[in-house]
Chain A
Amino acid sequence: MSEGEKGKVEFLTEAEEIVEALGRDLILLDESLRTGPTDPDLVNDIFRGVHTLKGLAGLFGAGLLATLAHELEAKLDALRLGREQLSSELLDILFRAVELAHRLLVTEQEDSPPPVADIEQLILRLRGGVAAPAAAKANDALDLDPAIYAVLTEYEEHRLRVNVEAGLSVYRLRVRFSLLTIDESLDRLKSTAKPHGEIITYLPTGEGADADSIELDILLASKRTLVELEGLLSSAGAAISEIGRRAQKADETPVPAPPGAVGLGSDGLELGAGSPALARGRAADGGDDERHPRVPSSVPPPPANVASPGTLRSVTQTVRVDIQKLDRLMNAVSELAIVKGSLDRLFDRIRPLAEDRSGLAELVRLSRSFDRQLEAMQQGILEVRMVPLGQLFERLSRVAKQVGRNAKKQFNLVVTGAETEVDKLIVEELSDPLMHMMRNAIDHGIESVEQRIAAGKPEMGTIALNAFQKGNHVLIELEDDGGGIDTERVLEVALAKNLINPADVRSTSRRDVLNLIFMPGLSTRAEASEISGRGVGMDVVKTNIGKLGGVIDVQSEVGIGTKLAITLPITLAIIRVLVAEVEGQTFAIPLANVREAVQISESDVFTADGHEAMTLRGSTLRLCRLSSVFELDRTKSANKTSKRFVVVTMAGSARLGLIVDRLVGGQDVVMKTIGNSLRDVRGFAGAADLGDERLGLVLDTPTLYEEIVLADRRRVHQARPPT
């Protein structure tokens, strides 16, 4: 990877993180629109996020993204300065903008053409907002020292005005922090103060600070009285004084700090434009001041080691790693395990010949310790690959809000188990299927408010997204309390589209009918809607989940709701397989897909309608001979007896029995992908080292099932005379 590409990857990851955070904040904003007053900090956070994104995009020459961020920033600026009011229309535009930003990042990554038209359209919408009448800029209308305004940014000024207008008092807290702990201390102070008011700004005083500490003036707007505040904030060790309100004299002496307070400013508090300390403070605060050049350019910036509140230090203790690097590490470790195996065999061979008894004992001890470390290493790598589903779920809820808004559906999204961890690769591949399922639940599941009321259901629908671990699997369920799937209708459509044989209809169970929704080309909606039905169907969802070694199942009751459940292996890297032999060849079947294995004799197999089947505990099990699907050479077969084994595999709720010659046993294997040159070969999920340097092919049983059952259906259709 060249330097440039590396830079691009870093840019994309960072930008994506910002966009994701924006989406999260928008959801909170959306909630606050419904529940009550909007937290100004939230709006400001969103504004800052967009500002950072703009800078980042500009830096990396992502012009379109920079333009989008710029327009978005202007809008948010108006919002936070109170020039525009938060409305659901505006939120809609914001959601759309975040979605477009995400899409832009994807196109950037794939080098595909960006959605220029969409962005232009959005920018027009962003610009076309109705500007609320600008708030009176009359500072003098307020009883505040005009000197204070001079050092505030437009935003801070706006917040100050809002608070003062609301009848709150403004206080100044003077605090000294140690430079080493300033981040924590400031956060602590902020969280202590937050319930009692709003922090407008904080400015370094530049006074009384020695090399190891810094003194800050914090402007706090609060309903509380001075005495109350002193009591509440005593632990923070701040010197508090009231400012503003009838322009008090600048030489007012500060109220003595409570005992134990650090760094009480003893001299007069000057909070005016003339204070060089404040001017310096503003210069250091950077942020959004470009538009308000109140600071004389001749004032030097403070020395870098005076930590301004916006520190450059990274907040998180995490490292971003390309998953391919982890794969390489994983390969190296499995190679190491193989080398260790060879060493053990060699050791066993020379052990009888060796005479040095104590040396042998030492070797055994070392070898055991080696094994333990190796295992720890394998485990460690696996853990590193695990990520919580939370991020994906957040993206999903964002989409859900947006889709719900467009479809005019009212529902609550209840998410549980976001902390459940899954292999990173699985999370990536889950994104599209889950998105599609979510859209379906909103579009086809949840009814309109009128319909819900008519059906005697609560106006607000509920969609539950649950994830939890169950043994070596993770279950993800998406459940809605909507209209459910009309099986009659599904059957009708399936018949009309020749997806099932009319002769089979009577024998088709309700469960089977529900599973028809996973067939390509089945959509029960008369017309495809805006949201879903854009060509990707549940069949794609099923295929994608099958590729991950997972299965999807559906339950639905008309009028009550629908539940889709995905069962996935926790990791793709290590899976447990059942090793079986067919015609001398070894295959591995993921145990996740195996229900049971039974011994049969050839006489148990009967033929029904040209298909081999057997009776297993009273019900018919469709059989498939691996030797014939894979066209294995039977002449070499060592198995001349009629004894066979049937491995019963599960694909969702469907069963298929695979006939094999011999069962070798269960094994934990490292799953590896087969090279690109064999990508067209269907039926195998990958290959795995089975020991002795031999590779075994891992069967992709859902695909096999699909292949065999679909082939049956096709045959039926061809046999039927055209009508």
Chain B
Amino acid sequence: MTTALTKNRAARRVERRAADGGVVTEYLGFRVASNSYALPVSIVREIVRAAHVTPVPRAPAGVLGIASFRGRVVTIIDLGTRLGLTCSIALPAAGPLRGHRLRILMVDIGLETLGYLVDEVLMVYRLSNKDIERATHTLGSDAGAHVAGIARPAESEEVLLLLDAKALVP
């Protein structure tokens, strides 16, 4: 009973109808290599401070390594590299990641929880689907690979690139 109630409430919060009739979805905004991106709040399980990451030899590019998260081993991915923005952050061997704003977003992708390292977490934006432009229309077809849409939230100056969660799968 309780869980059903909470779930309902959560659903209401995430998908509330906007005044203009569009569906409102909550997005978590974050910064990677001076670009602002966002992912639906519903798939972000948790935001954690960058912790000890153990590098994994032979791992594909963009994989920083593994870290322990709630008793499980989670693969940590450098989102900048994954998006082709930056070369990977120089990772001290088996040491903690430095930078007081660095965060890891724990995201549920399929059956696995993956950690994405971002430079800074911004805030949660409520976006009506009417505010979202389809990326392929504006940025060209090659941008469509991981960007699902573009939004200019009223709350800030940022131009948010909405990421397609499926494209993040390593």
Residues in chain A within 8 A of chain B (CB atoms): 331-332, 334-335, 583-586, 629-633, 636, 672-678, 680-684, 686-687, 689, 692-697
Cβ–Cβ < 8 Å partners of B73 in chain A? 672-675, 686-687, 695
Nearest neighbor of A629 in chain B, beta-carbon distance: B57
- 8 Å CB contact of B75 from A331, A672, A678, A686: A678
Map CB proximity to A onto B75-90 as digits: 1 under 8 Å, 0 otherwise.
1010000000000000
Contact B55 A693 (CB under 8 A): no
CA of A331 to CA of B68, assembled, Å: 11
Cβ–Cβ < 8 Å partners of A697 in chain B? 54, 56-57, 66
Contact B94 A675 (CB under 8 A): no
CB distance from B33 to the nearest CB of A (A): 22
Cβ–Cβ < 8 Å partners of A585 in chain B? 54-55, 93-94
Residue contacts A-B, CB under 8 angstroms, 10 given? A672-B73, A674-B75, A675-B112, A677-B112, A677-B169, A681-B57, A684-B56, A687-B66, A696-B54, A697-B56
Contact A695 B70 (CB under 8 A): no
Contact A676 B111 (CB under 8 A): yes
Give the 10 A-B CB pairs with smallest separation, nearest first.
Answer: A331-B71, A630-B57, A584-B93, A695-B54, A335-B71, A675-B75, A672-B73, A677-B75, A687-B73, A677-B170
Cβ–Cβ < 8 Å partners of A689 in chain B? 68
CA of A675 to CA of B67, assembled, Å: 11
Cβ–Cβ < 8 Å partners of B54 in chain A? 585-586, 687, 694-697
Nearest neighbor of B95 in chain A, beta-carbon distance: A584
Q: Taking chain A's interface residues, is the majority helix, strand, or loop, or is none over half, making it mixed?
A: mixed
Contact A586 B94 (CB under 8 A): yes
CB distance from A691 to the nearest CB of B (A): 11
CB distance from B77 to the nearest CB of A (A): 8
Cβ–Cβ < 8 Å partners of A632 in chain B? 57
B51 contacts the other chain (CB 8 A)? yes
CB distance from B131 to the nearest CB of A (A): 32
Cβ–Cβ < 8 Å partners of B77 in chain A? 677
- 8 Å CB contact of B52 from A331, A631, A684, A693: A693
Cβ–Cβ < 8 Å partners of A586 in chain B? 54, 94
How many inter-chain residue pairs (CB < 8 Å) link A and B? Answer: 85
Known: A677-B169, A689-B68. A694 touches B94 (CB 8 A): yes
Q: Of A633, A636, A672, A677, which is in contact with the most chain B CB atoms at under 10 Å from its CB?
A: A677
CA of A676 to CA of B94, assembled, Å: 21
Contact B57 A631 (CB under 8 A): yes
Cβ–Cβ < 8 Å partners of A676 in chain B? 110-112
Cβ–Cβ < 8 Å partners of A672 in chain B? 72-73
How large, as a class, is the contact surface on chain B? Answer: 20 to 34
Cβ–Cβ < 8 Å partners of A636 in chain B? 93
Cβ–Cβ < 8 Å partners of A696 in chain B? 54
- 8 Å CB contact of A694 from B52, B58, B112, B113: B52
CB distance from B82 to the nearest CB of A (A): 11
Contact A693 B57 (CB under 8 A): no
Known: A676-B111, A678-B75. A331 touches B58 (CB 8 A): no
CA of A479 to CA of B73, assembled, Å: 40
Cβ–Cβ < 8 Å partners of A630 in chain B? 57-58
Q: Of A629, A681, A695, which is in contact with the most chain B CB atoms at under 10 Å from its CB?
A: A695
Map CB proximity to A onto B99-113 as digits: 1 under 8 Å, 0 otherwise.
000000000001111
Contact B75 A695 (CB under 8 A): no
CB distance from B54 to the nearest CB of A (A): 4
B161 contacts the other chain (CB 8 A)? no
CB distance from B4 to the nearest CB of A (A): 14
CB distance from B8 to the nearest CB of A (A): 18
Known: A682-B58, A695-B54. 9 other contacts (CB 8 A): A331-B72, A672-B72, A674-B66, A675-B75, A676-B112, A677-B112, A680-B60, A693-B68, A694-B54
CA of A585 to CA of B52, assembled, Å: 12
Cβ–Cβ < 8 Å partners of A695 in chain B? 52, 54, 66-68, 73
B59 contacts the other chain (CB 8 A)? yes
CB distance from A662 to the nearest CB of B (A): 13
B74 contacts the other chain (CB 8 A)? yes
CA of A630 to CA of B51, assembled, Å: 23
B63 contacts the other chain (CB 8 A)? yes
CA of A636 to CA of B52, assembled, Å: 18
Contact B114 A675 (CB under 8 A): yes
Contact B70 A335 (CB under 8 A): yes
Chain B residues 37-72 with CB under 8 Å of chain A are 51-52, 54-60, 63, 66-68, 70-72
CB distance from B93 to the nearest CB of A (A): 4
CB distance from B65 to the nearest CB of A (A): 8
CB distance from A377 to the nearest CB of B (A): 14
CA of A586 to CA of B56, assembled, Å: 11
CB distance from A305 to the nearest CB of B (A): 34
Cβ–Cβ < 8 Å partners of A334 in chain B? 71
CA of A682 to CA of B71, assembled, Å: 23
Cβ–Cβ < 8 Å partners of B93 in chain A? 583-585, 633, 636
Map CB proximity to A onto B137-169 as digits: 1 under 8 Å, 0 otherwise.
000000000000000000000000000000001
CA of A678 to CA of B64, assembled, Å: 11
CA of A694 to CA of B52, assembled, Å: 6
Cβ–Cβ < 8 Å partners of A673 in chain B? 73
Cβ–Cβ < 8 Å partners of B52 in chain A? 692-695
CA of A674 to CA of B55, assembled, Å: 12
CA of A554 to CA of B139, assembled, Å: 63
CA of A334 to CA of B69, assembled, Å: 12
CB distance from B14 to the nearest CB of A (A): 22
